[in-house]
Amino acid sequence: MANDASTVFDLVILGGGSGGYAAALRGAQLGLDVALIEKNKLGGTCLHNGCIPTKALLHAGEVADQAREAEQFGVKASFEGIDIKGVHKYKDDVIAGLYKGLQGLVASRKVTYIEGTGHLSSPTSVDVDGRRVEGRHVLLATGSVPKSLPGLEIDGNRIITSDHALTLDRVPESAIILGGGVIGVEFASAWKSFGTEVTVIEGMKHLVPVEDENSSKLLERAFRKRGIKFNLGTFFQSAEYTDNGVKVTLADGKTFEAEVLLVAIGRGPVSAGLGYEEQGVAMDRGYVLVDEYMRTNVETISAVGDLVPTLQLAHVGFAEGILVAERLAGLKTVPIDYDGVPRVTYCHPEVASVGITEAKAKEIYGADKVVALKYNLAGNGKSKILKTAGEIKLVQVKDGAVVGVHMVGDRMGEQVGEAQLIYNWEALPAEVAQLIHAHPTQNEALGEAHLALAGKPLHSHD
């Protein structure tokens, strides 16, 4: 197999999603000669099948809710329904604009972009549709795909994944969503706003089970108020077609019927048949194993993004890709503190967090060494204006730093930036309390929570 123009690149990247293209852009910026290989579209899951399109659907749903509820703000408006073709056009226009910009960015950095299906052919090469691309180092960034369960056949019409849901040509009258994690509750929220009757099935005892239990309970309360049904604590057993849709049976015998079943039980790594194991790369259940610097057990190979068993978030992929590029360029790098990564679930209301849960803090530091404080958004002027309910919960090591910030409420995702600084800079409540937050803003609620935790509450009770 012929080498690609006899060039040996400094870095060959297999996969052009968040982790792959971030490594390409940063590597090229640092003077590395980079080849980026992608079989589908540059931008990967996040841009085309994940973060961006789902948030567009959620925003369309928010606009629909605002039209329905306009009268409570003294505005006369009428809601006449969802034009799903119009929603998809809006969503696709957003994606197209970002996609064009990303293509231009990669070209401007002089990254060699190669379209085609890649296969790891040696510790320093990737074969792409008959061409061999050689590199001093190879970065694996092939991402993830929606998971299913044994015996559950995805047909793309009645039993679907999130990929199908993003292009569904109709608003389903009713839907069962299998999985109450981020993907499940986001689609539950968007579909409910579109007018779908939604039931979420979650085998764990709470929705968004990786979040602080208080956040889960607040979301469950909000979903009940919105009319989103859910069944918790019992696992899925089987699904079968009915005359008009799908029937789902749980392990306890309980059954549910709806027009569609969305399987949202998470995403699994794309690694099978790509040559990783043949080249000696250590794997576990399809994931590529890496150390804190994203190095595999093979000296010339690194891996990032959904392919490795870290948080499946686009911004984590960005950070991991940048870390690899900087390490290869000889810069001093610092391992990622995954607890310090902001996490946002963009349902209505939003769930945002950074740091560790109260339960985890007690496990690490001891129950007597942990202090938790809840600040209700009812005391926040801007939240009142927006008519959103929720809380900010702070978790602190007694007489020490804030180690967890957990927020529920509309637009809380926009507040997680300051929360990230508080956690990562190991801020004391008194230090945050000294900062003056603009009034009236929802951001002010973070300041008020820290004022209370520092022992000098303003718009909250002792």
Catalytic residues, by residue number, are 439
Beta bridge partners of 344: 352
- CB contact at 8 A, 372 and 329: no
Give dist(CA 440, CA 352) in Å, integer: 20
Residue type, 270: V
**φ, ψ of residue 178 in degrees (nearest 5):** -90, 105
Tokens of 67: 């039209």
User: DSSP 3-state helix, strand, coil percentages of the chain (rounded to 5)?
Assistant: 35, 25, 35
Nearest to 415 by CA among 387, 371, 449, 370: 449
**φ, ψ of residue 92 in degrees (nearest 5):** -70, -30
CA 402 to chain centre: 24
- 429's CB contacts (< 8 A; 6+ apart) are 394, 396, 402, 450, 453, 454
Nearest to 397 by CA among 366, 370, 423, 374: 370
* Residue 440 preceded by cis peptide, ω within 30: yes
Give dist(CA 359, CA 455) in Å, integer: 23
